[in-house]
Amino acid sequence: MRSRKTFHRHRKAHSTHRLWLYVTFLTAIIFVIFTVAQVNVEAPPSSTLSSNNPLNSEKSDEIEQKKHPDQADSVNKGVRSISYTSQDHRKASSSPTEEERQQAEQMERTYFGTEKRAELALSSSWTLMPQTVHPGDVILVRSQQEDHIDWQGKTYPLKPFGTGFYTYLPVPIGIEPGKYTIGTQTLTIEEKVFETDYLQVTEKQESILQDTEQIQKDQKKIDEARNHSAAEFLFPADSPFMQPMEGRVTTPFGFTRYVNGKYSGSHRAIDWAAPEGTPVRATNDGVVALADYLHLTGYSVYIDHGMDLYSQYIHMSKLLVETGDSVKKGDVIGLVGSTGFSTGPHLHFTFWAHNVPVNPNLFLNTTPFHWLDDKRDETIMDEKRNLEE
């Protein structure tokens, strides 16, 4: 009996073992079927991006800004982006050869200035240049996929350049500091305190501000001019933006301004005072989008640098370029003056990204591609590490 019992127990143990083998085998088969099925399913499109703060207290500048027609009201609907993979993109356009792709990548890499920066940007699904900013700044965004960004009540489509997709994103001067999600990255907006500037002008000067009909006519002209930006970066890879003239800064970027005691918005430009007739130079290569006399800003020039970035030069005494001219960095485009709403000879200089005036200091002696901080951007590094694992 004893031995039989042992035998039975043995058999029982044996059959349990066989059952286990069956179960393991079946599990393995199911696993393989599942894996194959998943590989065949197309990867889902990248996630929809949206800003998480609807606050936008954009204040009027010397020129009132209008909504870009391209950025119409497809806003904050939480629409899923229609992004297709770069493979689909290749199918849609004439498919480039591997050699062409390599050339495009090489061209794109040169814009970053260093191998490290280029590597960081190209190996990450999303890159913010830079990742930490202040109200009134602007960032350059790169994505590996065609996509769009819903940001501060507007939609910004990314445009192809090299092997990536790019857009500038203006950071409104009235934005709430904090952390914002863009793609797979986090944009940190740090607080900044702007000083206040009290400007006294004569009644005659103040009356310039009252001609709203003329101001609106001019605004139409400006909107039209700023609606045809080149769909590429017009400045060369190794070409930092230059200060357009030498002079003493009289009003820095961001000052809150009162004219004769009345609040008149933020000064979203740099003013340099200089003797009348001082040459004003193009900050970088581009195409003159508008060179004209405007009621509020006098002799004015807007230069398109591509991808919806324009530099602006106003209050000049003379224009030396015409609308449509191609200009090189350093070309003299006009002379310092005091035309329009101005209290003395000076240049009011700024950049407009997607029709929002942004901090011009960020551009001087550098380019937006160099805003990528290759020492600080740990999030990008982390993402890269995850991909490698």
Binding residues for Zn ion, per CB under 5 A? 269, 271, 348
- Please identify the residue of the shown chain whose CB is closest to the bound Zn ion: 348
Q: Per the structure block, which two tokens stand in for 373?
A: 């901080």
Comparison of 226 and 315: residue with beta carbon closer to Zn ion: 315
Comparison of 151 and 253: residue with beta carbon closer to Zn ion: 253
Cβ proximity of 263 and 279 under 8 Å: no
CB of 214 to Zn ion, least distance (A): 19
CB of 251 to Zn ion, least distance (A): 5
CA dist., res. 127 & res. 166, Å (int): 10
- Per-state percent for the chain, helix, strand, coil, to nearest 5: 30, 30, 45
Cβ proximity of 186 and 130 under 8 Å: no
Comparison of 137 and 197: residue with beta carbon closer to Zn ion: 197
Burial of 354 from C-beta contacts in 10 A (0-12 / 13-18 / 19+)? buried
Number of CB atoms found within 10 A of residue 103's CB: 14
CB of 265 to Zn ion, least distance (A): 11
CB of 309 to Zn ion, least distance (A): 19
Comparison of 28 and 249: residue with beta carbon closer to Zn ion: 249
Phi-psi region of 270 (alpha: psi -120 to 50; beta: other; left: phi over 0): beta
Comparison of 148 and 257: residue with beta carbon closer to Zn ion: 257
CB of 386 to Zn ion, least distance (A): 46
DSSP-derived 3-state class of residue 325: coil
CA dist., res. 280 & res. 197, Å (int): 25
CB of 269 to Zn ion, least distance (A): 5
Phi, psi of 10 (to 5 degrees): -60, -45
Comparison of 142 and 348: residue with beta carbon closer to Zn ion: 348
Comparison of 48 and 264: residue with beta carbon closer to Zn ion: 264
CB of 314 to Zn ion, least distance (A): 8
Place of tokens 């090299």: 162
